[in-house]
Amino acid sequence: MSRRYCGRDFSPAELDLIGRMIIEAPNLTRAELSRLTCQALDWTKPDGGLKAMSARVAMLRMQADGLIKLPPPRRARPDPQVRITHRTDPSAAIAQSAPTLRPLQLLVVRDKSDSRLWNEYIERYHYLGHKPLPGAQLRYFVRAAPGHLVALLGFGAAAWQIAPRDRFIGWSPELRERNLHLVVNNARFLILPWWHVQNLASMILAQVAKALPSHWHDQYGVRPVLLETFVEKTRFLGTCYRAANWIYLGQTQGRGKLGPAGKQSVPVKDIWVYPMTRDFREQLNL
């Protein structure tokens, strides 16, 4: 019987192949085994790169299900706690009109120092705190002239299955699996709390929607056509997304990935999407 992990079905023969590769290469690390698995199964991303991270997650789940036995990890996982420093201390309140902040700069997080700083701001000021973004991702600092940090955004892999979104696109399960990489999730959006600027959020969203497809293509060789986000109903109205011409699609069921079937286990969220091309449906249904 086939087993499904990370959006891919693994046949009994493929599961047996993975198990034999682990036994026959006892000195390989888990990372090396995940790359070897991708090569053996031709499991690649749209740009031709190996889906090594997905393979690594899938193999951990296979081990949890008793299907394979991975070698022990070579080193302990790094401390997941984000250290809070004076670099992210709050500023005095700033009240301006949005046009006076132009031009806004969208700066992609690229090096480890910037990554640590982005994580620290999100951990300190975003209500969800810091969690690693799933899959392919881009993170931004938003700076206003003359270089003041205003906001941070994070984009990652789209949700696997959301009924209102999939109906809106016109997806079958097969088309969703083929084209999900063309949808990107706005997982974090933080305007630093000392900025009090009307219409700033919608201005940032409009600018990032124009810039992200090229940045994503430069990073991953793919040009996404649709953005999605989820807004917790009890906290926010989604006003800035509406003002930036995002489209409201409905609500999640509040079940979460790991929640019990048929029961709410996480907060219900509003679903918003933003088409970045006029022919997004055609591209998502090819």
| Domains along the chain with CATH numbers | 3-64 (no CATH), 98-284 (3.40.630.30)
Q: CA–CA separation, 184 vs 220, rounded Å?
A: 12
pLDDT more than 90, % of the chain: 67
- Give the model's pLDDT for residue 258: 43
| Contact in structure between 153 and 137 (CB atoms under 8 Å) | no
Per mean pLDDT, which range of 9-23, 144-158, 192-206, 246-260 is the poorest? Answer: 246-260
**The pLDDT of residue 260:** 47
Using DSSP, state whether 127 is helix, strand or coil: coil
According to DSSP, the residues that pair with 145 across neighbouring strands are: none
Look at residue 176 and tell me whether its pLDDT is greater than 50. yes
pTM for this structure?
0.76
Q: What is the pLDDT of residues 1-49, one digit of tens each?
A: 889 988 789 999 999 999 999 999 888 888 889 999 999 999 987 777 8
- Please report the beta strands in the chain, taking only residues with DSSP state E, as ranges in sequence order: 3-5, 8-10, 94-95, 105-108, 138-144, 148-157, 183-191, 195-196, 226-232, 247-251, 269-275
Which pLDDT score, from 0 to 100, does residue 6 have? 82
Which of helix, strand or coil describes residue 184? Answer: strand
CA distance 131 to 81: 10
Give the DSSP letter of residue 231.
E
Antiparallel, parallel or unpaired: β 226-232 and 183-191: parallel
Mean pLDDT over the full length of the chain: 90
- Buried-exposed string 169-206: b where 16+ CB fall within 10 A, e elsewhere: bebeeeebeebbbbbbbbbbbbbbeebebeebbbbbbe
61-82 pLDDT tens trace? 899 889 999 998 876 555 567 9
Other C-beta atoms closer than 10 Å to the C-beta of 265 total 13
> Would you call 260 exposed, middle or buried from its count of C-beta atoms within 10 A (0-12, 13-18, 19+)?
exposed
Query: CB atoms < 10 A from the CB of 274, how many?
Result: 21
Region 91-106: what's the mean pLDDT? 89
**How long, in residues, is the chain?**
286
Rounded to the nearest 10 degrees, the angle between the axes of helix 30-41 and helix 52-64 is: 110
| 255, pLDDT greater than 60 | yes
- The pLDDT, as a whole number, for residue 254 is 73
Position 259 scores a pLDDT of 43
| Least confident stretch, 124-128, 144-148, 275-279 | 144-148
Q: Hey, is 156 helix, strand or coil?
A: strand
**According to the model, what pLDDT value does residue 109 have?**
97
Looking at residue 256, its pLDDT comes to 56
